[in-house]
């Protein structure tokens, strides 16, 4: 008997203190099977190194098992075979988003993953119903199946997932009604862009309106079902009442109206062309007279214009006169007007000092020409000469006073302004590093210093803070001209947003067509830009940071396809990491963060304004992403933007 007891004791001790390598060995085998089964861009795993050091693989503290698997945007394709994850029993995080995985997911694929809390399958090509094994994951907190081809009704079995906090099903082929979901912890929910119909369950009525757009659903927060039925019936009645004579009258009226509009546009174009040629000839003549060149704006400022006197350049363009340097400066000073300063600006110079400063043309932008002015006292400023100002003097002064009051560390402050009948000048601080546009696209030679991920993320965050501050001033306050050439950088690469508040001062002719690369599709008058349109422009700016492509370049070389549509087409057809700037691909440990910022940019550039986030939400998401990137030493991939405590 004592021998049996001894044997049992020995076995117990062995089971308690057995080596832990067996778990990680089986996990390693499963990971290699995943790499073999899912075709696409090779997973960057060195099989001679430990499993827990592989990119995207996060293990338990004792390295005994795999806890998280992050494989976003890896070009994985093909169908997932049954039982592929059977050995990863300790897995609590699985991300396969932004790949080209397709087909029906095996019904029992996720059954072994009882500890799974976060499952991200969005932006693939999965089809068929939601696999039954998902409903057995009792610990699941976040589930994202968006942007796939799932079909059939939304299963009521989602009620089994009582701890679910996020459920994203948008942009699929789900049909029928939404089941009566009873998920007390559900915070984030979206079923937009599906073939759903019927009324929205009362327990989901508190979700945002965006969560149900692109469907035939009704009820709170959308229009009530009764109103929908009544409006549809009224429309049918109206259509029935339209007689043939009425239709003919409408057609004739439309034709006459169209002809009048075309005649008016032809007259305006002829007049505009004549004015443009006259103005340009005067500009060139005046600039040549003082030896200063004005380059056309190409998204990148042109530095190094020839030196001259600021007063001479401005007077030559504004007056077109025949006096020389000093006389032209006196022509402006002699009108009795003076500079108007803002805040506690050191008034160590006056208009006369400014006009006598040596000048260098920085570029010809949307609202006018910018000069770098070096005063004799050693102060360097930027003077912007506005063109095509359409508002009267009183309104101009009121609007520019509001601009001068804005004070934020991520805005280029307006220090002073000058107004006369012929000239409107704005005085800003000089930001030495130039613009983001010049940094991204200006120097492509061997001596170029590449922008790393942390720098780009920091620039995005600074710009977001500045624009969000503008929006916080009131619902009618917007920037109106967000683009990379208006994001200036300090020596420490901190972003400063410029040119805000000027869109409402000038006529529509001042906004060239090339700004269309940043302009939201709903904007027809550049003087009337909403905050949601600003969000769209900021999204394009994020895409520019991530891809290294200028929106204007895309318009010229991609047969009219703008940058947002190009990115979305790449993601939709077959996700590939080549969408990112080559300079960013060297930072493999932050690929997950890059994908998150790309998703934010795509959200910002949604075609419909209601589907875009607010600038405050954008700032919060960029801030969270930066916190994740900057806290991480580079060894692991951390999903702080998605993994939160329930």
Q: What is the pLDDT of residues 276-301, one digit of tens each?
A: 444 443 333 333 333 333 333 333 33
> Structurally, how many domains does the chain consist of?
3
Q: Tell me the C-alpha distance between 95 and 83, whole Å.
A: 17
**What pLDDT does residue 378 have?**
82
pLDDT of res. 337: 66
Cα 515 from Cα 525, distance rounded (Å)? 12
Do residue 401 and residue 546 come from a single domain? no
**How far does Cα 522 stand from its chain's mean position?**
17
- Judge if 127 and 54 occupy the same domain: yes
By CB atoms closer than 10 A (0-12, 13-18, 19+), residue 258 is exposed
355 and 440 assigned to the same domain: no
Q: What pLDDT sits at residue 271?
A: 67
Q: Do 445 and 554 lie in a common domain?
A: yes
The angle subtended at Cα 599 by Cα 595 and Cα 603, nearest 5°, is 170
Find the CATH number of the domain harbouring 379: 3.30.200.20
Assess whether 385 and 459 both reside in one domain.
no
Domain annotation covers residue 644: no
Q: How many residues does the chain have?
A: 646
Residue 264 lies in a domain: no
* 565 burial via Cβ count (<10 Å: 0-12, 13-18, 19+): middle
**Same-domain pairing of 364 and 439:** no
Structure confidence at residue 55 (pLDDT):
81
- Assign residue 601 the CATH number of its domain: 1.10.510.10
385 and 460 fall within a common domain: no
Q: Which of 384, 410, 429 is the last residue of a domain?
A: 429
pLDDT given for residue 361 in this prediction: 85
Same domain, 375 and 463: no
Residues 622/600, Cβ–Cβ less than 8 Å = yes
The Cα–Cα gap between 544 and 542 comes to: 5
**Which of these, 58, 73, 32, 54, lies nearest to 585 by C-alpha position?**
73
pLDDT of residue 245: 65
For residues 451 and 404, state if they share a domain: no
The rounded distance, in Å, linking the Cα atoms of 166 and 181 is 13
Does residue 260 form part of some domain? no
The CATH number of the domain holding residue 127 is: 3.80.10.10
Is 384 annotated as ligand-binding? yes
Does residue 591 form part of some domain? Answer: yes
* 69 and 111 assigned to the same domain: yes
Residue 454 and residue 600 share a domain: yes
Residues 27 and 119 occupy one common structural domain: yes
Instruction: Tell me if 555 is assigned to some domain.
Output: yes
- Regions of the chain with pLDDT less than 50: 6-22, 233, 235-240, 276-307, 316-334, 510-514, 555-559, 574, 632-646
Name residues whose C-beta falls within 8 Å of residue 549's C-beta, 6 or more positions apart in sequence.
543, 563, 566, 581
From 218, 239, 261, the end of a domain falls on 218
Task: Let me know if residue 635 belongs to a domain.
Answer: no
Range of the domain at 352: 340-429
Last residue of a domain, which of 405, 429, 453? 429
328 belongs to a structural domain: no
For residue 89, what are its two tokens?
């029993």
User: Is 622 among the domain residues?
Assistant: yes
Residue 168: phi and psi, rounded to 5, are -110, 120
């Amino acid at each position: 008997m004592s021998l049996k007891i001894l044997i049992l004791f020995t076995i117990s001790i062995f089971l308690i203190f057995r080596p832990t390598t067996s778990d990680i060995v089986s996990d390693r085998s499963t990971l290699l099977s995943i790499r073999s089964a899912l075709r696409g861009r090779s997973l960057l795993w060195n099989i001679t190194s430990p499993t827990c050091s592989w990119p995207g693989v996060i293990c338990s503290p004792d390295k005994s098992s795999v806890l998280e698997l992050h494989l976003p945007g890896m070009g994985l394709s093909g169908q997932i075979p049954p039982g592929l994850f059977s050995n990863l029993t300790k897995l609590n995080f699985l991300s396969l988003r932004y790949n080209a995985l397709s087909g029906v997911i095996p019904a029992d694929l996720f059954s072994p993953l009882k500890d799974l809390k976060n499952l991200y399958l969005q932006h693939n090509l999965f089809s068929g119903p939601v696999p039954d094994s998902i409903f057995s994951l009792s610990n699941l907190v976040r589930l994202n199946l968006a942007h796939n081809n799932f079909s059939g009704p939304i299963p009521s079995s989602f009620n089994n997932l009582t701890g679910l906090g996020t459920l994203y099903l948008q942009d699929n082929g789900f049909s029928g009604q939404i089941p009566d979901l009873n998920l007390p912890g559900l915070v984030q929910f979206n079923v937009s862009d599906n073939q759903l119909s019927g009324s929205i369950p009362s327990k989901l009525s508190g979700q945002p309106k965006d969560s149900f757009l692109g469907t035939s659903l009704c009820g709170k927060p959308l229009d009530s079902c009764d109103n929908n039925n009544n409006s549809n019936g009224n429309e049918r009645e109206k259509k029935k009442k339209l007689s043939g004579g009425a239709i003919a009258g409408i057609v004739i009226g439309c034709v006459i109206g169209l002809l009048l509009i075309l005649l008016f546009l032809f007259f305006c174009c002829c007049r505009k062309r004549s004015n443009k040629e006259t103005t340009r000839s005067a500009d060139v003549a005046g600039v040549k007279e003082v030896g200063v060149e004005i380059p056309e704006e190409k998204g990148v400022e042109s530095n190094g214009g020839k030196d001259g006197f600021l007063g001479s350049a401005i007077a030559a363009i504004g007056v077109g006169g025949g006096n020389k340097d000093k006389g032209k400066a006196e022509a402006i000073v002699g009108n009795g007007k003076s500079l108007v300063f803002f805040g506690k600006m050191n008034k160590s110079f006056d208009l006369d000092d400014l006009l006598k400063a040596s000048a260098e043309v920085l570029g010809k932008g949307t609202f006018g020409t910018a000069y770098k002015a070096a005063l004799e006292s050693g102060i360097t400023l930027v003077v912007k000469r506005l063109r095509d100002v359409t508002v009267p003097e009183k309104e101009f002064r009121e609007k520019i006073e509001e601009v001068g009051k804005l004070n934020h560390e991520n805005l280029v402050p307006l220090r002073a302004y000058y107004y006369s009948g012929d000239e409107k000048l704005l005085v800003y601080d000089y930001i030495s590093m130039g613009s983001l546009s010049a940094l991204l696209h200006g120097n492509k030679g061997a001596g170029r210093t590449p922008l790393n991920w942390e720098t780009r993320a920091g620039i995005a965050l600074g710009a977001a803070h500045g624009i969000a501050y503008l929006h916080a001033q009131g619902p009618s306050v917007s920037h109106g001209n967000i683009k990379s050439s208006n994001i200036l950088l300090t020596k420490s690469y901190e972003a400063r947003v410029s040119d805000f508040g000027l869109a409402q001062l000038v006529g529509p002719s001042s906004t060239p067509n090339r700004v269309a690369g940043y302009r939201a599709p709903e904007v027809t008058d550049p003087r009337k830009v909403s905050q949601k349109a600003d969000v769209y422009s900021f999204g394009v700016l994020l895409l520019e940071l991530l891809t290294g492509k200028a929106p204007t370049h895309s318009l010229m070389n991609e047969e009219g396809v703008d940058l947002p549509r190009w990115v979305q087409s790449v993601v939709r057809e077959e996700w590939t990491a080549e969408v990112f700037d080559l300079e960013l691909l060297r930072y493999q440990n932050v690929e997950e963060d890059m994908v998150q910022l790309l998703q934010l940019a795509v959200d910002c550039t949604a075609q419909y304004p209601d589907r875009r986030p607010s600038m405050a939400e954008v700032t919060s998401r960029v801030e969270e992403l930066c916190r994740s990137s900057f806290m991480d030493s580079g060894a692991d991939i951390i999903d702080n933007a998605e993994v939160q405590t329930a």
